[in-house]
Structure 1
Amino acid sequence: MNKHVSILLTVAVAAIFLTALSSNAVSYTLKIHGNANMDESINDEDLTYLDKLIKGEVEKTEFSDANNDDVVDENDIEQIKKIIAGDEEFLVVQDDAGRTVRVDEPIDSFVYHGHNIFVYETLRAIGVSNKIVGVNSDYVTPGLSRYSETYFPELLSVENLGGLQAINYEVINNIKPDLIITDYLEYYDPIKTPDFPTIALDVNITNPKEATMRYGYIFGEVSKAEEYVSWMNDQEKKISEKVESIPESKRVSVYVCVGLPDVSTSKYSTPSKKHHYCQEVRNAGGIPINDEIDIKGISVDVDAEWIVSRNPQVILLSTNQMVGYDAHDSKEVAEYINAFLQKPELATVDAVKNKRVYMISHAFLKCGGASGLLCSLYYAKWLYPDLFADMDAQAIHQEYVSKFQHLDIDVNKCIMAYPLTA
């Protein structure tokens, strides 16, 4: 069968209360046709719902037309049965752009066009990284932000697709992948690779479980996706239960600095309050000091007076320099933080006075690590060391790398977050 794509605009349907569709409360809706009852998976409950729908006993839902032929009938029941058994010939998926994408199964090869590592880490976690045949240059060009011989050794030999905003579509057409994955459709034009299905499906701090499950169904690795989601849920629960016990009046104020400021100048930057940089702080129980910064971009420049007036108790430095899986010597990091603590314009800031200034890997923890989960854990250890004393960030990080990223890396020998809190 030739690989092909059928992309249709999805039509909004009337709002439906999830509790009316399923006896169990759901935290997300799996955006795959066949999920008739609009819960987190495709199973026998969807067959039951579809049977009732055909009899006219319940309302049609957005994903009840399993084969996407505009008719709900016995053929949809057969498609759902195939999806449950894992032997469907195709899958119809809604992507982040609201498009309906048909993907022929099985998928033996894919290319990834992406700006962060959340998506690729998810694909590696569910065991399909061996199917990648091309990736954009950030991952395969030494010196660029996502390049790591230690963390992404398998990407060193795949095709370079070009820059994030300068994709070489000829290379992709020559590769002939079964699937093209992008997390940023604004920079990818599917019209230029018309013979292959393109799905825009990001994994980020807002959707890691649902996106993981969508990928699990797309690649036929549902059980591995469920195991990964379960691990994320367990770790998030441990963190959130502790955070919920912290009174608002006792929460630590935090300044997140995007990039490393020159220690000889007074120029700084701060992210938008809506950015995941700040959400990772909130997930750790901290209070970002930039709640009035509401912009479309990632960050804005601020001066030292802006920081001093807000007097953060902790300062977090997010950077691609000096830290990462390929960094093994803390000397340079320690020297930089010591120089930062000597900056005279910040001398009155509590974080500086109390030496609560920390550095974290931007590319691999803030923009990676189970969609920022590990980042929030390191943050929590820094913000509330006593409360989180029984959670070993390094050990949990090691489990993630070994069990879900399938890598033989000793996290303790890498400088990912500095200085560590016991």
Structure 2
Amino acid sequence: MSRYLFITILTLCGMLNSLSAWSADQAAATVRFRDAFGNPVQVAAPARRIVVINGDAVEILCAIGARDNIVGISSHTAKNPGPVGKMSDKTVVGPSTGPSIEKIIECRPDLVIAYEMWMSQKAFEAKLIPLGIPVARLFCYRIDHLDEEIRILGRLVGRQDQAEAYIAYKNRIIDTVKQKTGNLKPKIRVYNESYAPYKTVSDGCGADLLLDIAGLDNIAAGQSIPWPEATSEWLVEQNPDLIIKVASATFIKNGYGVDDVQAMDAFRNALITRPAWNRIKAVKSGRVHILASELWVGPRAPIGILYMAKWAYPEHFADMDPEAIHRQWLKKWHGRELKGIYVYP
């Protein structure tokens, strides 16, 4: 009898040791970070049920192999899934600008990831955090925050190695562009128009940093606000060498799976026939390009930077094909072929 008692005690001790080790592991797996608002966020990792209404975060999570961790998405991601493909197995919780709190709760999430803009904390966090649902506001579209936020996402889903590989792959493209453009003088002068007509970019917004990395001289740099509004008269006076217009899928179909070149051509033609634009150097030389929003912001912004740099300095990028690099990116990180219109012409 004593022998069986001894074995039982040993077994119980082993179970207790295992439980202690498991508890220690669980405590060590708690991920703590500050989000885009600077708010502290604490999440038990790996987070296995995440509602992600930040479409750029969806793309990153899928790239590092955490698609199954996503249980809820925004209606925009459902409608425009891009390279991640259809996500019909995920609950659609509404728009990123104002999702349904009830649908989010029904997903029983370990975490909700949202953009830093649009919703107030009173309208969002205040309704979820008291229920024990952590909320993280992340950019995931600004290139100056991407490394940090990719690492956060990797830690949250227990895929740190994949996140570091993704960061290294992204940064190799950026570093190559910097090496080729860093010492170029004079720099090509560019007018970069955002989604709305005549809305351009200046210091303080992430888009200006993209132009700087591409080695371009932004004619709107130094303006008093991040998103100033230009006029045709001012553009004629500035006379940029290159014009890059960003196309949002909201206004003109572009990006993954789109094949209507005629629509893109008409979009560009409407741009170059604006009043007095025929007097601008970039228009006269045919250096007016359309860039899909998928490549202007978000995790694939390095591809957009490469396109912009090659448009500006074709002789220095003769050995680099942005389309081929984009094709490799999609195949490596999403297992998908390159389809769609991302630039024109």
Judged with a 3 Å threshold, the aligned counterparts in structure 2 of structure 1 residues 344 and 92 are, in CA distance, closer, same or farther, namely closer
1:192 counterpart letter in structure 2? K
AA partner of residue 277 (structure 1): A
State how many pairs are aligned: 315
Q: Which residue number corresponds to residue 21 of structure 1?
A: none
Structure 2: state its 5+ residue gaps: 1-20
Provide the C-alpha distance between the structure 2 equivalents of 1:237 and 1:367, rounded to a whole number of angstroms. 18
**Residue in 2 that maps onto 1:39:** none
Aligned counterparts, 1:10-409, within 5 A: 82=25, 88-114=28-54, 117-140=55-78, 142=79, 147-148=80-81, 151-184=83-116, 187=119, 188=121, 189-193=124-128, 194-203=131-140, 204-247=142-185, 250-259=186-195, 261=197, 268-295=198-225, 299-320=227-248, 321-362=252-293, 364-370=294-300, 372-404=301-333, 406-409=334-337
Q: CA deviation at 1:389?
A: 1.0
Q: Which residue of 2 aligns with 1:416?
A: 342
Take 2:97 and 2:216, find their aligned partners in 1: how far apart are those partners? 35
In structure 2, relative to structure 1, the CA distance for the partners of 1:199 and 1:337 (3 Å cut) is closer
Shift of 1:215: 1.5
Distance between the aligned counterparts of 1:283 and 1:310, measured in 2? 21
More helix by share: 2
Instruction: Tell me by how many angstroms 1:172 deviates.
Output: 1.1
Give ranges in structure 1 of 5+ residues lacking alignment: 1-77, 262-267
Cα deviation, 1:40-97, whole Å, max 9, x if unaligned, reads xxxxxxxxxxxxxxxxxxxxxxxxxxxxxxxxxxxxxx99x959xxx94423333333
Following superposition, the deviation at residue 138 of structure 1 comes to 1.9
Q: Any runs of at least 4 consecutive aligned residues in structure 1 with deviations exceeding 3 A, and if so which? A: 338-344
Q: CA, structure 1 residues 361+195, in 2 after alignment: closer, same or farther (shift >3 Å)?
A: same
Change in Cα spacing, 1:154 to 1:337, as seen in structure 2 (3 Å) is: closer
Q: What SS class does the counterpart of residue 208 from structure 2 fall into?
A: helix
Partner SS, residue 176 of structure 1:
coil
Cα shift readout 1:129-172 (whole Å, capped 9, x = no counterpart):
222111222222x4xxxx24x53423344222222332211111
| Counterpart Cα distance in 2 of 1:270 and 1:99 | 30
Per-residue deviation, residues 198-246 of structure 1 (Å, max 9, x unmatched): 2223322112112111221121101101111111221111111001131
The CA RMSD over aligned residues, in Å, is 2.4
Aligned to 1:22: none
Task: Give the secondary-structure state (helix, strand or coil) at the position aligned to 1:173.
Answer: helix
Distance in 2, matches of 1:397 and 1:170, equals 38
| Structure 1 pair 198–340 and aligned structure 2 pair: CA distance change class (3 A) | closer
TM-superposed deviation, 1:260: 6.4
* Residue pair 1:369, 1:375 contacting (<8 A) in 2 also: no
Aligned to 1:14: none
Q: Is the 8 A contact 1:254 1:312 kept in 2?
A: yes
SS, match of residue 269 in structure 1: coil
